[in-house]
Amino acid sequence: MSRTLYDLKSLDGRRLSPFGQRVHLALRHKDLGLDKVELVRFVDKDAIAFAKSQSVPVLVDGDKVVADSWRIANHLEDTYSDRPSLFGGEAGRALARYFNNWCGIWLTAEIASFILFDMLQHLDEEDRAYIRRTREPRFGPLESLNETREARLPSFRKTLDPLRLTVKQNGNLHGAEAGMADFMVAAAFHWAEQSSAFALLTSDDPLYSWSKRINGQSP
Amino acid sequence: MSRTLYDLKSLDGRRLSPFGQRVHLALRHKDLGLDKVELVRFVDKDAIAFAKSQSVPVLVDGDKVVADSWRIANHLEDTYSDRPSLFGGEAGRALARYFNNWCGIWLTAEIASFILFDMLQHLDEEDRAYIRRTREPRFGPLESLNETREARLPSFRKTLDPLRLTVKQNGNLHGAEAGMADFMVAAAFHWAEQSSAFALLTSDDPLYSWSKRINGQSP
């Protein structure tokens, strides 16, 4: 049985999809390897059309095709239930869904507003045009985001206070051991770090070392 | 063995402590009764000094004295582990802590900014003065809050989108059956409703019917 992940392609090997990174972290947690990683650009819609999806990640796990990182996490949890759990039971799964929604509705868009312009340098010309075309209706000219980001930073950091306190108290969101809730949120910070040199978090922020640890880099 | 809850006293029998309401909901979930409810005012610090606490709720459960609603929830979960679970396991407990922090850091203060002035009418003169003295350094004159609240409402409601979506998807935050995460968040909306006629949520909002259901009122 073969396992292939379709993930986002950058110019320089950086992981620029927070949702792809979630899947890497979930696979590592379950100690499941990949036989192949297919890197596709934003514009390569044809390459993932077989999954009836417009975006990566797509996981092909044997004869099963699963698109969307939340659905992939659930597939892995249910298919490999004898391996370390991503959710820690049904209540953990239900509450993790909140973090999936929080990331989808708020955190990802918020982080985008700090790093999207810088991310362009890691994409080829066609993907740059794609990002401009799809994101500027929402965010305005991406250059302008960088002009206001310093001023917006304190409020962003403050909104993370409940997350920060929980990580301090528990060790991770999910408890002493990290789980899918951690992977989803930390993957968003990984995306920021891969895309831009702009420091979203100060190095003495507990969320900084937590994110580094979750993403498997030394802090 | 006797069980007594120290909760907040109002002029008219309303439950004006969101943290007291959490304990009522947790006790009901575990099907545990109370032998006595001692109602104390904000200013009655002496009445709960035995618990080394400055605020209600305080639960006296047999020979055990527990202050703070989060600690009370953990006490009930661990002491009555054969009864319906409040957390659904250790991951559920760890993730519920996020909602305790989110309520403590953000939601309660945010709701206060909409209803604190109206709440005064349900308190006696000494408690009114206490609330002014302790809250106005943070919020400014409480009257002014009511002048700006209509304008602030759309942004407040929008911030609830991740919660709203999760409740729509799961039935509750905690899943098909409600748990402590639901009790903590819904208790904050119960407090709003007990304190003020101001409609924080529209009646067609899924969070409106969810909160009513959790708090045991017909929607």
CB–CB contact B162 A91 (8 Å) = no
Contact yes or no for A91 and B88 at CB 8 A: yes
Q: What are phi and psi for residue B52, nearest 5 degrees?
A: 50, 40
**CA-CA distances (angstroms) from residue B7 to A64, B13, B118, B135?**
54, 11, 20, 20
Q: What's the rounded Cα separation, in Å, for the pair B104 and B100?
A: 6
Prediction pTM value = 0.97
pLDDT (tens digit, 9 = 90+) per residue, B85-125?
A: 999 999 999 999 999 999 999 999 999 999 999 999 999 99
Residue A60 in this model has a pLDDT that exceeds 90 = yes
Q: What is the pLDDT of residue B218?
A: 58
* Pairing state between β A36-40 and A3-8: parallel
Alpha-carbon distance of B184 to B117, in angstroms, equals 22
Q: How high is the pLDDT of residue B1? A: 79
pLDDT digits (tens, 9 = 90+) for A85-125: 999 999 999 999 999 999 999 999 999 999 999 999 999 99
Nearest by CB to residue A92, choosing from B92, B104, B162, is B92
Cα separation of A121 and A143, whole Å? 12
Test mutation, B95, B155, B172, chain A, max A CBs within 10 A: B95
Note the pLDDT of residue B219. Answer: 52
Residue ranges, CATH 1.20.1050, chain B:
90-214
- Here the tokens at position B69 are 């609603």
Q: For the structural domain made of B3-79, what CATH number should be given?
A: 3.40.30.10
* Contact criterion met (CB < 8 Å) for A94 and B174: yes
- Using alpha carbons, select from A93, A54, A51 the residue that is nearest to residue A74: A93
Where along chain A do the CATH 3.40.30.10 domains lie?
3-79
Tens of pLDDT, residues A159-186: 999 999 999 999 999 999 999 999 999 9
Q: Give the residues of chain B that fall short of pLDDT 70.
A: 218-219
Cβ-defined contact of A88 to B92 (cutoff 8 Å): yes
Quick one: pLDDT at residue A217? 75
Q: Of B181, B188, B180, B152, which is closest to residue B166 (Cα–Cα)?
A: B181
Residue A1 has pLDDT above 90, yes or no: no
- Mean pLDDT of the residues in chain B: 97
**pLDDT value at residue A219:** 52
Cβ–Cβ of A181/B95 closer than 8 Å? yes
Dump the DSSP string for chain B. --EEEEEE--SSS----HHHHHHHHHHHHTT---SEEEEE-TT-GGGGGGGT-SSS-EEEETTEEEESHHHHHHHHHHHTTTSPPSSSSHHHHHHHHHHHHHIIIIIHHHHHHHHHHHHGGGS-HHHHHHHHHHHHHHH--HHHHHHHHHHHHHHHHHHTHHHHHHHHHHSSSSSSS--HHHHHHHHHHHHHHHH----SS-TTSHHHHHHHHHTT---
**Selecting from 1.25.40, 3.40.1350, 1.20.1050, 1.10.3470, what CATH number does the domain A90-214 have?**
1.20.1050
Q: Using an 8 Å CB-CB cutoff, list residues of chain B that contact chain A.
A: 85, 87-98, 101-102, 104-106, 161-163, 165-166, 169-170, 172-175, 179, 181
